[in-house]
Amino acid sequence: MASNETTVSGDVLYQNGDDLSEANLTRSAARSNATDYVERGLSVVVDAAAGTIDIDSGHCIVQDGIHAYDVFPNQVTDISLPAPNGMNHVYLVIDEAVDDDIAYHVDDDDTPPANPSLKIATADGGAGTATPLNPDPAAAFNQAALADRAAQPSGVSDKRVLYVDESDGNVYKVNPDGTEEQLGGGGIFEDTDDDDIYEQTAGQGIDTPSISTGALSNTESTILINSSIETYPATANGIESAVTDATEGYRLLLPGGSYNFDTTTLDIPRRGTVSGTAGGRGTRLVWEEGAGVGIQADASVLIENVTLTGPGTSTNTDIGIKGDTGDGQSRFRWVNFDGWAKNVYLDNYFNSVWHGCLFGGATGDASGFSEAASVHVDVASGANNNTRFFGCFWANNQIGPSLTIEGNEVQVIGYQGEANEAGEIKVVFGGGHQIMGVRVQNLKGGDGIIIDDGPTMVCATDMEASGSGQNGINFRNVSGGDAKTAGPHFFSGFGNDFNGVGTTGSVEQRTS
């Protein structure tokens, strides 16, 4: 057997000759409960290279028969380990017959010293780690330890008690006859025996098969107190089938993280419908804070016919998208700018922000498009849309205009168009729009900007056309009279003509 003892300075209270001073009394009173435990400090740090340990100063209570002593050892360093490559056992030892006699006993076979002692740690010399011991008092009441009563019926009810097994995160109930029954995993659930609602925060969500969520694919779901079901896709590609297959009353939630979809279509059903069929509560899709959502595209994959539908009110958005950029804005984004998107339809949708997106190649109307466009912003008349496009690029669209706006307060800043065949931007109705920094090259057909409604502000445009009979900005009161708002419009900082051929002027106002 190998061992050593190292003398350490400090105080042992109370012994003959000790004063009942404030310092001694307050130190002695600073305890949580009972004896034989470390009140604070005495942490052990292993130096594996040197084969030694350091022990911090602290306070512990050491019992010797009917006597208990408050021990306040000071810090000590470089105590040699008997087993520098193995397990060592660290005891604090006092000699109650000698004033302030404190020592640390370290051995490799866990043999307690003869004098009163308290084991404070084990030290693994090979791993360079230490495990503290006896950090809490072993309290007992009426001869029944608290730990022994944790899984017993409480006596408050003759039905059952619930507890969470920390080893597996599951919830169990203990019946009056002592048998146990597993209720499920983490979350909020209902015990059908007595219709009580219980909340359990440990563990994982209740799995989809156990609650019959309407064949939701690749998801985990949790039953809420209000009987709705929140569903989290387990994989990114699970979102489309989950939304499509969901029965009424379900919400699909994306927690923080990045969700990219390698798919050619993504259709989110409107609230108030079930999988596109009128009636019922429908499916709500919610992007939670920090969830960056996008369509994964590359040069070989064309993203098309993307439809996002909302409730038609600015105060109750069904599709709330908050990106992972930290700016707090709603966001739906393309994650690979080598790819393109066409036929993007924002129906009754609010507060969307599109940064640096690529749109192009639109050849025909997708389902739900009231007007042909590569990107179509469509909200209910009079609703507040607040959709914003920053630094987006439209090219090679065969239907048009490339961007069609039906809403209010739409911002288009940093628009770039190239080789589009049926116009660039068309304002169908609404007001408070801002169109700024428009750069158009090789517009093959249609007008640069068509305004059927207003008021609209247009600033700093630079347009080039290759077709004939085209206008830079064309204001048309197509319905005549009061059916459309006639302005006022504000135009500033644009060239008088297209830098192309066969144009009829920069600004034309007419009724058709």
Q: What is the pLDDT of residues 483-502, one digit of tens each?
A: 334 455 666 555 434 433 33
Cα–Cα dist 332/286, whole Å: 12
Cα–Cα dist 37/323, whole Å: 50
Q: 24 pLDDT band (50/70/90 cuts)? A: confident
Q: Which amino acid is at 110?
A: D
Q: 347 pLDDT band (50/70/90 cuts)? A: low
Beta bridge partners of 320: 286
Is the pLDDT at 465 greater than 60, yes or no? yes
Residue that wins the pLDDT comparison between 248 and 405: 405
Q: 162 pLDDT band (50/70/90 cuts)? A: low
Cα–Cα dist 113/135, whole Å: 20
Mean pLDDT over residues 229-258, rounded?
39
Is the pLDDT at 312 greater than 70, yes or no? no
Can you list the positions of beta strands (E) in 48-124?
Answer: 52-55, 58-64, 67-73, 76-80, 87-94, 102-107, 117-124
Give the best-scoring range by mean pLDDT among 23-27, 202-206, 441-445, 464-468.
441-445
Q: What is the separation of C-alpha 195 from the centre of its chain, rounded to a whole number of angstroms?
A: 32
Cα–Cα dist 395/397, whole Å: 6
| Range in 45-49, 142-146, 318-322, 330-334 with the lowest mean pLDDT | 318-322
Is the pLDDT at 43 greater than 70, yes or no? yes
Q: 50 pLDDT band (50/70/90 cuts)? A: very high
Indicate if the alpha-carbon torsion angle 152, 156, 161, 162 is positive or negative.
negative
Cβ of 329: how many Cβ atoms within 10 Å? 14
- Collapsing DSSP to helix, strand or coil, 242 comes out as helix
Mean pLDDT over residues 141-147, rounded?
46
Q: 167 pLDDT band (50/70/90 cuts)? A: low
Do 88 and 63 touch, CB atoms closer than 8 A? no
Mean pLDDT over residues 280-285, rounded?
33
Is the pLDDT at 409 greater than 90, yes or no? no
Cα–Cα dist 286/189, whole Å: 22
* CB proximity list for 313: less than 8 A, separation 6 or greater: 348, 380, 383
Pairing between strand 358-360 and 393-395? parallel
Can you list the positions of beta strands (E) in 153-282?
Answer: 161-165, 170-174, 180-184, 187-191, 196-200, 219-223, 229-233, 250-254, 257-261, 266-267, 273-274, 277-278
pLDDT in tens, 359-387: 665 554 433 334 455 677 665 444 556 77
Do 47 and 132 touch, CB atoms closer than 8 A? no
What confidence score (pLDDT) does residue 487 get?
53
Give the best-scoring range by mean pLDDT among 159-163, 172-176, 233-237.
172-176
Q: 353 pLDDT band (50/70/90 cuts)? A: low
Integer CA distances (angstroms), 415 to 3, 40, 444, in order: 80, 65, 17
Is the entire prediction scored with pTM above 0.75?
A: no
What confidence score (pLDDT) does residue 44 get?
95
Give me the chain's average pLDDT, please.
61
Cα–Cα dist 348/369, whole Å: 12
Q: 201 pLDDT band (50/70/90 cuts)? A: very low
Cα–Cα dist 113/105, whole Å: 7
Pairing between strand 358-360 and 187-191? unpaired
Is the pLDDT at 11 greater than 60, yes or no? yes
What confidence score (pLDDT) does residue 78 get?
93
Integer CA distances (angstroms), 163 to 146, 181, 191, in order: 15, 11, 13
Is the pLDDT at 25 greater than 90, yes or no? no
What confidence score (pLDDT) does residue 121 get?
94
Mean pLDDT over residues 414-433, rounded?
82
Residue that wins the pLDDT comparison between 54 and 511: 54
Residue that wins the pLDDT comparison between 269 and 153: 153
Residue that wins the pLDDT comparison between 394 and 110: 110
